[in-house]
Chain A
Amino acid sequence: MTDVWIVVAVVGVVTVLFKAAGPVFLGRRALPPRIKSVVELLAPVMLTALVVTQTVGGDGELSLDARIPGVAAAAVAVWRRVPLVGAMAVAAVVTALVRALA
């Protein structure tokens, strides 16, 4: 319980400061170009790590299971420009079906 609240508090304060960075702290100054290109890569990099962990992550090991066909089907859905919630539904249904059949 306490751990959860520490995460909520720290992430909350840091996010408030990030969003205020331009309007309150930096004003019209631009970020240095190299810092900007590093910062802009953080979101895709972290999202990739989350996709990998959520697809093949296990308890301290790689675990290849029914999530893989589910996520693969969702990848096709995303590629075909199916909206976020549709892609999530595709992944859930395919994975649940594979689990039920296994």
Chain B
Amino acid sequence: MRKFSLAVAALAALAVLGPTWPDLQTVQAAAPAEIVPAKPLPDVPRNQTVILGWSISSPIGVTNPWAVPGYTHQEGNVFMWEPLMYYAIFADKYIPWLATSMEYTNKDFTELEIKLNPMAAWSDGVPVTAKDVVFTFEGQKNNEKLPYHAAFQQFVDTVKAVDDHTVNVKFKIPAPRFKFEVLTEKFDTGIPIVPEHVLSKQADVTAYAGGAEIPHSGPYDLVAWNANQKIYNLRPDWWAAKAGLIAEPAVKRIIMVNIGGQIGQNMDTVAQRLVNNEFDSALDMRSSVIGNILAQNPKITTHTGNKSPYGYLDWWPNSLWVNTQLAPYNDPRVRRAISLAINRDQIDEVVYEGAKISTIFPFPLYPGLKAFVDTPEVKALEEKYQPRKFDLAESAKLMTDAGFKKNSDGLWAKDGKTLDCTIHAFQGIHSDIVPVLAEMLHKAGFDAAIDFSADANQKMADGAPGLYMFGHGASLKDPYAAFELFHGRFSANIGTTAGNNRFSRYKNPEFDAVLDQMAPLSADDPKFKELADKALEIYWKEQIDIPIIQWLHRIAYNQTYWTNWPTTENLAAGTNGAFWAQTGMLVITNLKPSGK
């Protein structure tokens, strides 16, 4: 009893002395609370409301694009923030927005002039001017916490406001892709312009949440946000409608419903809610689920209608990446042997019902890239290196040459250890393809297993042994950005984290030299094409990673209340149909009522 009382007394002392220890966290950032409307929201009929299903996990109240790490554009913030320009992938054109033009003013791509739309304005009535653009660019350049800091630091020399609606940007080195890659929003990349008159007043811009009050240029105001949903109302004074860029949207309210869990979870219930017309659209689905949805509700369609593959080509083609600095994955023969064990035709047949989805490229075959791969030079390379080949005998020969022998279990082994071909992947999005890959590899004698654990991404970043099923979110118009993923300057050594998804850690001075020569050239330059062919040759010859599939976004569009979703038959705004992408605002504002 005495010892017990002493123990308790010690705890009590802790309570008394506690104030002498420093607080665990001394940050005084304004923690966001729920966003509750001051008065009841006006009723908006269902046929003027779009209801979207999404796994909302960002902190409530974070709407500031510079709030790091809380902000994500994917959870409705694209309805509030706008860029200088958008890019419509299926129309293959720029859509000028806050800027009417962005033009390089010299031949070596070291100077860019931006002209702003004089009618652009923030939701508090303050005009969007060159000051905002300068503030946005300089912020990205000087604040190392901001998402595009690396790109601005590398390329941007000076940013000047010539007048209220003209900005001049000078680059340190030729930057032919800066306008597209950084300043134009498409898919998940590109930067929005932020309000100088608001963020310049913050002591720490990355700690400022924003809430519902932050002035924004986009068409929708955030009016409510809690753990269940986010509600946006169309603001009648949206500048883009007044400027004639777009007709007044028919969608007066957007509700993003939190479907819970991590992205890709609970999709069966989501599917049911789509079929029951509770949702107009939701996160993309696996083929078996979307097929069922289409069968049960004839009002639901997809990018390809009710025909396989039910989706559009996304910008994230997946490969089996490996850590090329880690033995034995550092041996190109081993990597090639793995590739030879993959039957891509069978993948198309089994997983995609015959649709040609498997790939041999680290980039999606959008028009610009399709034109590149259809050239005779690339065809010749394909003939020479046979990247699509499926040949178990050749795979076995390469493994034998690399010093492996099959053990008593029929698995490739060296020095008593099998070659670890565990595939680290994400269950929510890879549950259909990865088991097929694992089986193929196993048949070829590779010790394959599946890792869908919560820290799979961490293992990829740490360069763990095994294979990583992951995409290449890079190229859209020309192959440079995809190849740049393998540039040696990004290849972290073993023991460090592979930043920004550059998991291969590939180091090849010859490859780097080719890319360095490509960097300052426009894709129209014949020399660029020649160098791109060379880079692709090295990619295939070295088998830097093992390309598997193009990525499909199988998104269900419920036409019960809304039509004009982007499909193969209907271009709409020319963008992809993902409402969570940077171009999501264009998808929603172009919807038309079905008449119900």
A and B associate: no
Residues of A in contact with B (beta carbons under 8 Å apart): none
